[in-house]
A and B are shown apart, each in its own frame.
Chain A
Amino acid sequence: MNIFKKIYNYRELLKTNVKKEIRGRYKNSILGIMWSFLNPLLQLAVYSIIFGALLAGGDKTYHIYICVALIPWTYFTTAITQSAFTVIGNADIIKKVYFPREILPISVVTSGAVNFVISTIIILAFVIFSGIGLSWYLVFYPFILLIQFILLLGISFIVSSVTVYFRDLEHIIGVILMAAFYATPIVYKLEQLPANLQIIMQLNPMTHLINAYRDIFYYHQMPNMQILCILLALSILLTVIGYFIFKKLQKGFAEEL
């Protein structure tokens, strides 16, 4: 396919973009890249204290239960939030230079993935030092990450291109993500919900991804491969649809911005 060749030809641009995004995020801050660790850790501390008192029920590893979910969740939200800005933020080069515009959402999702892999060190440190330990189920980590990557790519294609024409989306996304945080079993257990709510939660793709991460890091059990494969297929479908939307809308970028 033509698109893969195009992206391959512009791989250097993709690389510098990803580097710029990772380095640029904490540029001019004293602690620099340390914020990549501090941010989720502090967030984790807040959630552990508040929700720990409310929901933990004496579970000594509750903070790890949250941690395993919070780190992939952070990847999910930052990638989507940044997608809304990426085309608008690069307005001046879009108006002046030709390059495959697809590079922009792809580099947002890729730089997020790099950050996520680095942050996984936090999860590993927690499970090792708390005595939960590691299991061989970790071999599924790349597979789960791949599904999340493709899912995000699809969302990113749509969000980044639609926001150009419909700026409100940026704010709508903020609200949706805030709601989605509570609609995903991050701070509580799915079983704590009433049965009818549990069924609705099954429609949330992040529920299954979070469950899978928990299976390999926390519960040390086989993730539900059947669900993951369905999720993979749906994510690929979403990315294909998203790509066509992006392709159609990108023609007007230079005029709309």
Chain B
Amino acid sequence: MKESNDIAIKVDHVYKSFNIYYDRANTLKERMLFWARNKRREKREILKDINLEIKKGETVALIGVNGSGKSTLLKLMTQIIFPNQGTIETKGKLTSLLELGAGFHPDFSGRENIYFNSSIFGLTKKEIDKRLDQIIEFSELQDFIDNPVSTYSSGMYMRLAFSVAINVDAEILLIDEILSVGDQHFQEKCFAKMRELKAQGKTMVFVTHSMESVRNLCDRAVWLYDGQVRMDGNTDEVVNEYLRVTT
């Protein structure tokens, strides 16, 4: 990889905290009557001073126990939420698979939903037309593609959503705990596709609890603990240490 010096994602001194309200006053009336109530809130720091540089073409896993801030970090990279302090820069077209099938419309057919969903990822009609067959083929839903999505089983739903997301042609893929899509056969297909994307030099960031898939796919692992980077490096080293400490 000749461009391996290029940084795809740069996380620079990022802090993120959420306000936790005990009993939230939402309306004007409530706010005026119970103004003291809103003060009963707690600022919870989710991420503290995160610094991370992910190079182009790298496949990185974010690991850590629940509540360690992995998903928050991924959401920050996607620009769904924004840091309180620090900056995050990404270079290149970015797709996130935080939750499959977000934006699916149950009353519309699978085919129409491919168009809706791809357009949320920023594709034009022409680009979607070009990919349509490929997406349908990957999902293996040829016989059902013109039925409304509400008639799909959850497995079929996931397959369609994954097929759309994986065919968007992004340079950076952010994937949150979704490698458990469909049956054994489809999972293997997904892994094969990910490896193919990896070979094409795409940058990928995973959040997952499956250490097996981390070992399988990633060349670098970042262990988050309590909102901070505890360990960052070679997959095997980090995973072994993580397993040693947590189990």
A interface residues, Cβ below 8 angstroms from B: 9-13, 15-16, 20, 27, 92-99, 166-168, 251-252, 254-255
Contact = CB atoms under 8 A, between A and B. Distances in A.
Contacts of B78: 97-98
B18 A255 contact: yes
B81 A254 contact: yes
A11 B102 contact: no
Given A16-B115, A166-B28, A167-B26, A97 B81 contact: no
Given A96-B98, A97-B96, A166-B28, 13 more contacts: A9-B122, A10-B122, A12-B125, A13-B122, A15-B125, A92-B102, A97-B121, A98-B78, A98-B80, A99-B121, A251-B82, A254-B75, A254-B81
Q: Which 10 A-B pairs have the closest CB atoms?
A: A96-B102, A12-B119, A13-B119, A93-B103, A168-B28, A251-B82, A96-B99, A254-B80, A12-B124, A98-B78
Nearest to A100: B122
24 contacts: A10-B122, A12-B124, A12-B125, A13-B119, A13-B120, A20-B105, A92-B102, A93-B102, A93-B120, A95-B80, A96-B98, A97-B96, A97-B102, A97-B103, A97-B121, A98-B79, A98-B80, A99-B120, A99-B121, A166-B28, A254-B75, A254-B81, A255-B18, A255-B81
A255 B16 CA distance: 12
B107 interface: yes
Contacts of A96: 80, 98-99, 102-103
A143 B73 CA distance: 47
Nearest to A92: B102
A6 to B, nearest CB: 9
Candidate in B94, B124, B125 with the most chain A CB atoms within 10 angstroms: B124
B123 interface: yes
A94 B82 CA distance: 13
Q: Could you say which interface size class chain B belongs to?
A: 20 to 34
B119 A10 contact: yes
Candidate in A13, A166, A168, A254 with the most chain B CB atoms within 10 angstroms: A13
A167 B79 contact: no
Given A98-B80, A98-B96, A254-B75, A12 B103 contact: no
Contact of B119 (A16, A168, A252): A16
B186 interface: no
B116 interface: yes
